[in-house]
Structure 1
Amino acid sequence: MARSAKVKPTRTGQQRPALGRSLAVHALAAALFLGMWAAGLWMLSRHVATRVAFPADPPRVVLKNRPAWMSDYLADGLCNLVRPRAAYSALDRRLLEDAVLQLSHNPWIRKVNRVSRRFGSAPGDTLEIDCEYRAPVALVASGGRYWLVDGEGVKLPESFRADEVERIQYGRNGKVNIRVIEGVRGLPPADGRHWAGEDLAAGLDMVKLLHGHEFTEEILAVDVSHFANRGSAEPAISLVTRYGSRLKWGEPPAAAFHAELPPAVKLSRIAAIKQQYGRVDAHRSWLDIRFERITYPIEESPVVQAGHRR
């Protein structure tokens, strides 16, 4: 008679409840840890947002790469334009977005490169503005006022009376900062808009050509009042000196020259006259430098008794 073998009970069945309890304990511990970590992170972020990143005062505004020609008055105006009245959190991007929007609609701004928060004495207490600006290159006379325009003919917000022009034209070193364009026919547009007209465009080209030369310091204005009558006896462009005399320049610098001398030759003539006579007008009420032979009124006295502009 065969003996049946006894099967010993395994411990697997006994271990399963213990393993389940162990996993549950570990899961509960992990959940408690994650909950405490999340709560701590929330409390930390709240502390940073309300205490550390939220300054007591509105941020100060600085202009990065402020150009040398920009006055304190204009710089302060641009800073005040974007400076908020109340404090903002350093984590709030709305301040940056609002500043970019306001700057992009300002006539003095050609392009907004970047607006960012910077650490001064506290996080986010400084707003840094990085822009490309429209530099004024001429004063355009129109309607009894003198309007600033940039090199592309965009009208800028500032205008001046006739008795204020001399103060604007000269810098602290006594050099000419900016020249007047007279005789423009088109009316001034709104601030930040392009001032249309071939006469103004020609005047701006002339102003740029005169800039940076020591011998042109006596030339204060460019007259384009006869630009529409090109081909007549009167020159399209005349240069007005500080003595009230005129240099008959002729065609605009960008024109194709046939009968007249090219711009470089005319400039060299002005330099030579200045060197020889001490004045760009050679002490005459006008000089015509358009052609091979320079002409002038021989009947007048050598020294012009015209009004001295300065």
Structure 2
Amino acid sequence: MAKRRRKTRRNEPERWWERLRERLAETEWTRARRASQAIITILVVAALTGGWLLGVPRLRAAVAEATATEVSIVFVDEPAWVRGDLLALLDLTARHQLSGDPIAQSDLVAMRSALMNTGWFDAVRQVRRTSGNRIEVHADFVRPAAVIRDDEGDHLVDPTGKVLPRSYETDAAKTQIVITGAHLPRPGLVGTVWPGADVTAALRLLRLLSPQPWRGQVAAIDVSTFRDDESLVIATDRGSRLFWGSAPGAEEGLEVLADRKLARIETAFTELGHIDAGHRGVLDLTNPRAVVGK
């Protein structure tokens, strides 16, 4: 019995050392595992961060594209003639200035400048974002008044003769009165006034004709003889001609004044249905006594 107890006492130190080694081994494993987890975490974060940084430009581009597509651009109180291709062009011009940042004031400034440069506005008074996806443009559109014809076609102008950014093939602008026979060439820059006293005189007459109920029967104002006698001729939609004479306000001698000439045309339109009174030649409106047919 005594021998067995001594043997047990001799084994106790060995067991203690074994338990100590096991605890040390467990501690080292725990530390190694924790270190590995930390390294893995760092690597994952680095990978995610790197991927994010690489993806930021693409993400920004995608957001900008989506934002530009979603934004509604409204031209407040736009004229009825602003439609179709022209409206699409103006919308695209404005949309091209969007960076994708819904609070960027610089986008609105750039939009105003770009729209003014199109030549379709007398003024762009305000461009404002009324909500995150709606932009309102408050602007004064130009007012097309006529087309002036040259060898290259018919070119749109406003009431002052300023050339607008649209040209047509000859006779393609069906809703516009044509000024024919201009002596000076079209200016090279859009927004520049077409030079010449003949064009100025025709536009002055046009201002009198435009509001009249019979305006649709006026096809053209011919200024081809203006250099010789400073006279204007109205060409009708039936090929007949009304010799108007001097520009409104420039009458001399016994020439009938503009208001009386208008009254004569009105009488023909009201009583006979057409401003040429059924005459296929030339009607002289300048005679003080009566309209003279030629």
Q: TM-score, normalised by structure 2?
A: 0.72
* Superposed displacement of residue 290, structure 1: 0.5
Q: SS of the residue aligned with 2:128?
A: strand
User: What do the CA deviations read for 1:73-115 (whole angstroms, capped 9, x no partner)?
Assistant: 2111111111037652222111011112212222111111001
User: What do the CA deviations read for 1:184-231 (whole angstroms, capped 9, x no partner)?
Assistant: 111111211111111111111111111121234311111111111126
Q: SS of the residue aligned with 2:293?
A: coil
What does residue 159 of structure 2 align with?
151
* Superposed displacement of residue 136, structure 1: 0.4
Distance 1:229 1:99, change over 3 A: same
Alignment counterpart, residue 136 of structure 1, candidates 144, 156, 170 = 144
Identity in percent = 27
- Return the letter of the residue paired with 1:186: L
What does residue 257 of structure 2 align with?
262
| Structure 1 CA distance for aligned equivalents of residues 98 and 117 of structure 2 | 22
Distance 1:281 1:114, change over 3 A: same
Alignment counterpart, residue 274 of structure 1, candidates 253, 269, 274 = 269
User: What do the CA deviations read for 1:254-274 (whole angstroms, capped 9, x no partner)?
Assistant: 314432111000000011122
75-84 or 255-264, larger mean C-alpha shift: 255-264
| Structure 2 CA distance for aligned equivalents of residues 221 and 152 of structure 1 | 17
- Return the letter of the residue paired with 2:199: L
- Return the letter of the residue paired with 1:255: A
* Superposed displacement of residue 142, structure 1: 1.0
Distance 1:91 1:79, change over 3 A: same
Which residues of structure 1 form unaligned runs of 5+?
1-49, 170-177, 298-310
Which residues of structure 2 form unaligned runs of 5+?
1-59
Contact 1:288/1:296 (CA < 8 Å) preserved in 2? yes
Alignment counterpart, residue 282 of structure 2, candidates 283, 286, 291 = 286
Alignment counterpart, residue 251 of structure 1, candidates 246, 255, 258 = 246
User: What do the CA deviations read for 1:7-43 (whole angstroms, capped 9, x no partner)?
Assistant: xxxxxxxxxxxxxxxxxxxxxxxxxxxxxxxxxxxxx
| Structure 1 CA distance for aligned equivalents of residues 64 and 268 of structure 2 | 66
Distance 1:118 1:289, change over 3 A: same
What does residue 117 of structure 1 align with?
129
| Structure 2 CA distance for aligned equivalents of residues 111 and 94 of structure 1 | 19
80-89 or 179-188, larger mean C-alpha shift: 80-89
Q: SS of the residue aligned with 1:221?
A: strand
Distance 1:89 1:263, change over 3 A: same
Q: SS of the residue aligned with 2:145?
A: strand
Contact 2:99/2:107 (CA < 8 Å) preserved in 1? no
| Structure 1 CA distance for aligned equivalents of residues 198 and 270 of structure 2 | 31
Q: TM-score, normalised by structure 1?
A: 0.69
User: What do the CA deviations read for 1:100-135 (whole angstroms, capped 9, x no partner)?
Assistant: 22122221111110011121xxx2x12221111111
Contact 1:54/1:90 (CA < 8 Å) preserved in 2? no
| Structure 2 CA distance for aligned equivalents of residues 240 and 290 of structure 1 | 16
- Return the letter of the residue paired with 1:84: H
| Structure 2 CA distance for aligned equivalents of residues 265 and 163 of structure 1 | 31
What does residue 296 of structure 1 align with?
293
Identify, as 1 or 2, the structure richer in helix. Answer: 2
| Structure 1 CA distance for aligned equivalents of residues 107 and 291 of structure 2 | 62
| Structure 1 CA distance for aligned equivalents of residues 88 and 136 of structure 2 | 13
| Structure 1 CA distance for aligned equivalents of residues 74 and 204 of structure 2 | 33
State the superposition RMSD in angstroms.
2.1
Give the total of aligned pairs: 228
What does residue 241 of structure 1 align with?
236
| Structure 2 CA distance for aligned equivalents of residues 275 and 291 of structure 1 | 21
